[in-house]
Amino acid sequence: MNSPIHFSDSARFQAALSHFDEENSRDPNSEMVNGSPQPRELIYSQWLTDWVLKLAPDASEALRLAARCQHLCRWISPRSSYPMTKPGYLQWRHKLKQFHAEKS
């Protein structure tokens, strides 16, 4: 599930994608892909990038970066680590926003 990257993309953009993929490749949770276990968040980020490019082949770099890092290292802060209430959910989302802003 490797997304096609346009030849005109900048080295900085490529480095960001590589960084996000490297981070997500550390996910201890896995999904089977073609009979082989793969890090779940890596697979998800690549799938989401593919989906964005299917919907908008000329998507901006910003949109492609956002898709690639939407769940960046999500396993570090699982939903189950917060109360299963609406306030717990909102607290979890707030912490994720901060975490993702710092991590990306």
Residues 5-52 pLDDT 10s? 554 568 999 999 999 999 999 999 999 999 999 999 999 999 999 999
pLDDT of residue 7: 47
* Nearest residue to 55 via CA among 66, 63, 44: 63
pLDDT of residue 3: 53
pLDDT of residue 1: 56
With 90 as the cut, is the pLDDT of residue 83 above it?
yes
Q: Is residue 62 part of a domain?
A: yes
Helix H or strand E encompassing 79: none
Distance CA 16, CA 78 (A): 24
Residue 44 CB-density burial (10 A; 0-12 exposed, 13-18 middle, 19+ buried): middle
Q: Which domain holds residue 63?
A: 11-77
Q: Is residue 61 part of a domain?
A: yes
Percent of the chain with pLDDT over 70: 91
Q: Is residue 45 part of a domain?
A: yes
Residue 104: band (very low, low, confident or very high) from pLDDT cuts 50, 70, 90:
confident
* Nearest residue to 19 via CA among 38, 56, 45: 45
Amino acid sitting at position 31: E
Higher-pLDDT residue of 5, 98? 98
- Give the number of domains in the chain: 1
Q: Is residue 30 part of a domain?
A: yes
